[in-house]
A and B are shown apart, each in its own frame.
Chain A
Amino acid sequence: MTQLVQALVLGLLIGGVYALMASGLTLIFGVMNIINVAHGALLILVAFITWKIWSLSGIDPILLSVVMTPLMFGFGWLLYKGVLSRISGSSPGMSVLLTFGIAITIEGVLNVTAGNRFRSATPSYFSQSFRVLGISLPKAQVFGCLAAVLVLGLLFVVLSKTWTGRAIRATAQNASGAALVGIQSAGVAALAFAIGTATTGVGGSILSVLYPFFPASHYDWISRLLGIIVLGGMGSLAGALVGALILGLAETLTATYVSLQWSTLIFYAVIMLVLLFRPQGLFGSRLRQDVMA
């Protein structure tokens, strides 16, 4: 029983972190209708920078997200303006190839500069745990999840309470309709991409503590996150949240009761099953497509 509760709590803690990471990906998809395959590589990039700063200065890695988030916001904005906006209007196939190219480039840069080996940031609380009612909660997981929930909350407030947020949601639902009521879609896309990338600033900082990583880890991460947003419904923020919690739970339960090496397959299996039975995901809706043009 304790083992089950332990697994469930751990699953929810991890799910919170996944939710944050997936929210950026699903936001970008919703607004721009492109799959940002580079999202995982950006996470690993942030994890590397965080790890480097931590190992040089000893500043807490999760705390470093306060710096990394605005940095990644700026980086995302530049990436959109400098690279992605150049192909807006061409086929979705091209945009996926472009973000794939960006992902490989980031991996290549990390390979050359940092070398192809595992890293992990290990602050003082790394191996400590809180003990609550006989359940042990690793401090790193708790801090990571708290940071993730905080940022997710902030994101929801921005999207639902501000004009900018409403503009982003409007564009996500109907780009041409949003343009008709005066929302500049290019500006919104840049903003959405920047915000989506900013979430990797927090996500990557947390990742550097919770998981060992090396340059090619980004494939693993992008697959997990794609699994989450396919389950939740591509483009849906609420869906990403629920999908992340479900997959976080499924992963820890498999790791606890089956074996660690099968737990990563859960994400791929979920992608297949969702596409087989509910291609639009849990929260995705099928909108009328014929009058878009």
Chain B
Amino acid sequence: MTFVDSLRARTEGRRAKLTIVALFAALFLYPVILPFAVYEQGVLLLAFLTALMAVSWNIISGFAGYVSLGHSVFLGLGAYTGGLLAESYQVNPLWFMPVGGVVAFVAAALVGMVVLRARGHAFVIITIALLLSMQVLVTNFSGLTNGSNGVNVPLPFWSSDYQNMPFYYIFLVLLLATVAFAAWIRRTKFGTGLLAIREDEDKAAAIGVNTTRYKVLAYAVSALPIGVAGVVYAYFLSFLNPIGAFALLTSVTIVLSALAGGRGTLWGPVLGGFVVSIVSEVANVYGGGSQSRLLVLGLALVLVVLFLPQGILPAVAARLASRRAAKQTVEYTDQAGVAAARTSIVVTPRSAPAAERKAAPLLEIRGAAKSFGGLRAVDGVDLTVEAGSITALIGPNGSGKTTLFNLVTGAMPLGSGEIWFDGTRIDRMPPWERAHLGLGRTFQITRLFKSMTVLENVVAPLPTASWSLMAKDAVSGHEAERARELLDFVGLGRFGSQQAGALSYGQQKLVELAQVLMLEPKMILLDEPAGGINPTLVNRMVEIIRDLNRQGIAFLVVEHNIPLVLDLCDPVAVLSRGKVIAQGPPSIVRADPLVLEAYLGPEWLPAEPVPDAVLDQAALSAKGH
């Protein structure tokens, strides 16, 4: 991006900001200028509420990607909390706004702890079930809730001359507070982690993101503003019943608003909330009453999913960007720039320097086994990696190398055996705890979060489980500074604001390495670091590995480029059919008859020491692609 372009982008950003400020200023002044537009105020305040709920929904379903179809349950919870407390104490319900928020937060956290441990479809099912079961529960516990007869909430304390004007302002302020809250979350490492979960949950876990905690917290946090607003909503309605408070129609409106405006964006749900509320009001007035409203909303939802899945705001932004890109010269990422980068970096691994280290190995795998049905992919592997070493793990395709990596990092549960890392048994830990101990990995086929920027990718990892780290700013400040340093180190500092998916494959491998370094690892598992990248980058990769190793980071490397392995690694372990068949210095292993048999088949037995060329040929054919 040239200077002029960045200036233009900044001007555009400022223009957008000005528009938003002007719009909200107008909304603040509206009741003052037109105090008797009671109907319009009523429509607008419900639009504020809808927008507020859509912004909240967006935290779990937009940022983290877990769709909730029953989010109005928290409006009902807040409303009933405020309504019942206000009725029994005969005070104005606004005092109970924090209580409504807490009730919604806790309810979501409890449900989330049950259902969000696992991945996939359970969550969406629960969200529907939760809303419907609340209807039944509130109806059935009639002693507390007065059942289907409903609850009368005290009437507003202000003079009826003001009509709904106070509600108008309360909802407007709550909406702005919710947007600010969501914007803050998006800026933190917590927010970056949520996006990471949406993009690739396994990968997120591998870089230290405690995915369970993140998801549960995101769900609870997305319930909080709605619970607060629910209390005000009860006051506004002045009467509650189970079907009205836990309304499915409200959930549909929330989902449609966020989706139409732009799921995952900050202002999209606000825009969507306004558009959907006003369109649905218009449909109500001119389109034959509330009977047809459901039909309109349902059709709109289907059409948006089919034809505008990314939403209005991103669609408009893409249109603007493409217009700008047409004027802009395309800048290709230069390999030479990467290769020329020679900056070194202090990585401060959390282990002591080589000289002071105790004799125990850093990683010790004892009798590790893993079966898939009848296939024993890993069959009793014993393997140690000494601190400070660069250990290679080689073997023909299908010999179990990547599976072994998955067992060590916790991407798969171990069948039997033990894995110890730095004096701790890790084989029962979730992946993020292993990452927090200082165990990092890269993937055979790079797994960056493609729709996030390169910088966000590198900021996302969490070296510790601390809560305060999650709240740290990911866009500026110390964390982002560190990420920039690491990007400079791998030679990609200039690409920080690019989408990660736009980089070349080799550059993605380097970004993935920078990402792992953010964990401050003691040991890194590299899965084919040189696979599929050009020779210049391979050299840079080797340099980086050596540099990091000098500073005390140990490596376990899976690689098919045998000359590179023999040059870089010592010792070398050979895996065949799920077992380690040889381990030792490169010169010994390369002449081992068992190794040759594994690579070349049983008919081929050497009488003489093996020439290099044959071994390289063997490696190439074993690679199989």
Give the residues in chain B near A133, CB-CB below 8 Å.
none
Q: Are A290 and B252 touching (Cβ within 8 A)?
A: no
Expressed in whole angstroms, the Cα–Cα distance for A116 and B402 within the complex equals 58
Q: How far is the CB of B143 from chain A (nearest CB, A)?
A: 14
Q: Are A93 and B291 touching (Cβ within 8 A)?
A: no
A98's partner among B124, B291, B302 (CB-CB below 8 A) is B302
Expressed in whole angstroms, the Cα–Cα distance for A142 and B288 within the complex equals 43
A83's partner among B65, B259, B306 (CB-CB below 8 A) is B306
Q: Are B411 and A219 touching (Cβ within 8 A)?
A: no
Q: Are A271 and B291 touching (Cβ within 8 A)?
A: no
Q: Are B294 and A111 touching (Cβ within 8 A)?
A: yes
Expressed in whole angstroms, the Cα–Cα distance for A230 and B129 within the complex equals 12
Give the residues in chain A near B140, CB-CB below 8 Å.
261-262, 265
Interface membership of A161, Cβ < 8 A: no
- Contact A97 to B67, CB < 8 A, known contacts A219-B132, A271-B129: yes
B298's partner among A101, A230, A271, A275 (CB-CB below 8 A) is A101
Give the residues in chain B near A219, CB-CB below 8 Å.
128, 132, 248
Nearest-neighbor residue (CB-CB) of A286 within chain B: B413
Q: Are A290 and B411 touching (Cβ within 8 A)?
A: yes
Q: How far is the CB of B560 from chain A (nearest CB, A)?
A: 18
Q: Are B295 and A223 touching (Cβ within 8 A)?
A: no
Q: Are A101 and B301 touching (Cβ within 8 A)?
A: yes
Interface membership of A16, Cβ < 8 A: no
Interface membership of A157, Cβ < 8 A: no
The stretch from B114-122, B345-353, B536-544 touching chain A is B114-122
Interface membership of A103, Cβ < 8 A: yes
Nearest-neighbor residue (CB-CB) of A91 within chain B: B65
Q: Are A261 and B136 touching (Cβ within 8 A)?
A: yes
Nearest-neighbor residue (CB-CB) of A107 within chain B: B294
- Say whether chain A's binding surface is mostly helix, strand, loop, or mixed: helix
- Contact A108 to B137, CB < 8 A, known contacts A222-B128, A268-B132, A288-B372: no
Expressed in whole angstroms, the Cα–Cα distance for A107 and B252 within the complex equals 12
Interface membership of B297, Cβ < 8 A: yes
In chain A, positions 212-267 with a C-beta closer than 8 Å to chain B are 216, 219-220, 222-223, 226-227, 230, 234, 261-262, 264-265, 267
Give the residues in chain A near B594, CB-CB below 8 Å.
none
Q: Are A268 and B301 touching (Cβ within 8 A)?
A: no
Q: Interface centre among A29, A35, A97, A264, by most B CB within 10 Å? A: A97
Q: Are B136 and A104 touching (Cβ within 8 A)?
A: no
Interface membership of B314, Cβ < 8 A: no
Q: Are A94 and B309 touching (Cβ within 8 A)?
A: yes
Interface membership of A37, Cβ < 8 A: yes
Q: Interface centre among B130, B252, B293, B294, by most A CB within 10 Å? A: B294
Expressed in whole angstroms, the Cα–Cα distance for A234 and B125 within the complex equals 11
A: contact size bracket: 35 or more
Interface membership of B139, Cβ < 8 A: yes
Give the residues in chain A near B114, CB-CB below 8 Å.
272, 275-276
Q: Are B298 and A97 touching (Cβ within 8 A)?
A: no
Expressed in whole angstroms, the Cα–Cα distance for A3 and B624 within the complex equals 69
Interface membership of A136, Cβ < 8 A: no
Q: Are B305 and A87 touching (Cβ within 8 A)?
A: yes
Q: How far is the CB of B618 from chain A (nearest CB, A)?
A: 25
Expressed in whole angstroms, the Cα–Cα distance for A65 and B69 within the complex equals 31
Q: Are B299 and A108 touching (Cβ within 8 A)?
A: yes
Expressed in whole angstroms, the Cα–Cα distance for A96 and B125 within the complex equals 10
Interface membership of B412, Cβ < 8 A: yes
Q: How far is the CB of B164 from chain A (nearest CB, A)?
A: 28
Give the residues in chain B near A165, CB-CB below 8 Å.
none
Expressed in whole angstroms, the Cα–Cα distance for A37 and B124 within the complex equals 10
Flag B382-397 by CB within 8 Å of A: 1 or 0 each: 0000000000000000
Flag B336-360 by CB within 8 Å of A: 1 or 0 each: 0000000000000000000000000
A112's partner among B248, B252, B291, B300 (CB-CB below 8 A) is B291
Q: Are A111 and B291 touching (Cβ within 8 A)?
A: yes
Interface membership of A90, Cβ < 8 A: yes
Interface membership of B126, Cβ < 8 A: yes
Q: Are A100 and B295 touching (Cβ within 8 A)?
A: no
Nearest-neighbor residue (CB-CB) of A268 within chain B: B133
- Contact A101 to B305, CB < 8 A, known contacts A219-B248, A265-B136, A268-B133: yes
Q: How far is the CB of A284 from chain B (nearest CB, A)?
A: 11
Give the residues in chain B near A59, CB-CB below 8 Å.
none
In chain B, positions 206-248 with a C-beta closer than 8 Å to chain A are 248
Q: Are B302 and A216 touching (Cβ within 8 A)?
A: no
Q: Interface centre among A100, A111, A264, A288, by most B CB within 10 Å? A: A100
Nearest-neighbor residue (CB-CB) of A106 within chain B: B298
Q: Are A223 and B132 touching (Cβ within 8 A)?
A: yes
Q: Are A96 and B69 touching (Cβ within 8 A)?
A: yes
Interface membership of A187, Cβ < 8 A: no
Q: Are A230 and B294 touching (Cβ within 8 A)?
A: no
- Contact A108 to B126, CB < 8 A, known contacts A96-B69, A268-B133: no
Nearest-neighbor residue (CB-CB) of A108 within chain B: B295
Interface membership of B561, Cβ < 8 A: no
Interface membership of A153, Cβ < 8 A: no
In chain B, positions 92-142 with a C-beta closer than 8 Å to chain A are 114-115, 117-118, 120-122, 124-126, 128-130, 132-133, 136-137, 139-140
Q: Are B139 and A100 touching (Cβ within 8 A)?
A: no
Expressed in whole angstroms, the Cα–Cα distance for A25 and B245 within the complex equals 30
Q: Are A108 and B297 touching (Cβ within 8 A)?
A: yes
Give the residues in chain A near B259, CB-CB below 8 Å.
97
Give the residues in chain A near B293, CB-CB below 8 Å.
108
A35's partner among B124, B297, B372 (CB-CB below 8 A) is B124
Q: Are A100 and B69 touching (Cβ within 8 A)?
A: yes
Expressed in whole angstroms, the Cα–Cα distance for A119 and B285 within the complex equals 28
Interface membership of A74, Cβ < 8 A: no
Give the residues in chain A near B291, CB-CB below 8 Å.
111-112, 115-116
Q: How far is the CB of B623 from chain A (nearest CB, A)?
A: 18
Interface membership of A123, Cβ < 8 A: no
Q: How far is the CB of A193 from chain B (nearest CB, A)?
A: 16
Give the residues in chain A near B129, CB-CB below 8 Å.
223, 226-227, 267-268, 271-272
Q: Are A271 and B124 touching (Cβ within 8 A)?
A: no
Give the residues in chain B near A288, CB-CB below 8 Å.
372
- Contact A93 to B118, CB < 8 A, known contacts A108-B299, A220-B132: no
Q: How far is the CB of A137 from chain B (nearest CB, A)?
A: 28
Q: Are B406 and A275 touching (Cβ within 8 A)?
A: no
Nearest-neighbor residue (CB-CB) of A93 within chain B: B67
Interface membership of A86, Cβ < 8 A: yes
Expressed in whole angstroms, the Cα–Cα distance for A111 and B249 within the complex equals 13
Expressed in whole angstroms, the Cα–Cα distance for A97 and B62 within the complex equals 13
Q: Are A97 and B301 touching (Cβ within 8 A)?
A: yes
Give the residues in chain B near A176, CB-CB below 8 Å.
none
Interface membership of B292, Cβ < 8 A: yes
Give the residues in chain B near A112, CB-CB below 8 Å.
288, 291-292, 295
Q: How far is the CB of B239 from chain A (nearest CB, A)?
A: 20
Q: Are B122 and A279 touching (Cβ within 8 A)?
A: yes
Q: Interface centre among A101, A222, A271, by most B CB within 10 Å? A: A101
Interface membership of A175, Cβ < 8 A: no
Give the residues in chain A near B302, CB-CB below 8 Å.
83, 98, 101-102, 105
Give the residues in chain A near B402, CB-CB below 8 Å.
290
Interface membership of A67, Cβ < 8 A: no
Nearest-neighbor residue (CB-CB) of A41 within chain B: B298
Nearest-neighbor residue (CB-CB) of B259 within chain A: A97
Expressed in whole angstroms, the Cα–Cα distance for A276 and B291 within the complex equals 39
Nearest-neighbor residue (CB-CB) of B147 within chain A: A261
Interface membership of A177, Cβ < 8 A: no
- Contact A230 to B301, CB < 8 A, known contacts A261-B139, A275-B114: no
Given contacts A219-B248, A269-B133, 7 further A-B contacts (CB under 8 A): A37-B128, A83-B302, A104-B294, A271-B126, A272-B126, A275-B122, A290-B403
A-B pairs with beta carbons under 8 Å apart, 29 shown: A83-B302, A93-B61, A93-B65, A93-B124, A94-B305, A94-B309, A98-B306, A100-B69, A100-B252, A101-B299, A101-B300, A104-B297, A105-B299, A107-B298, A108-B294, A108-B298, A111-B291, A116-B291, A219-B128, A223-B128, A226-B128, A261-B140, A265-B137, A267-B129, A268-B132, A271-B129, A272-B115, A288-B372, A290-B412
Q: Which 3 A-B pairs have the closest CB atoms?
A: A108-B295, A104-B298, A101-B301
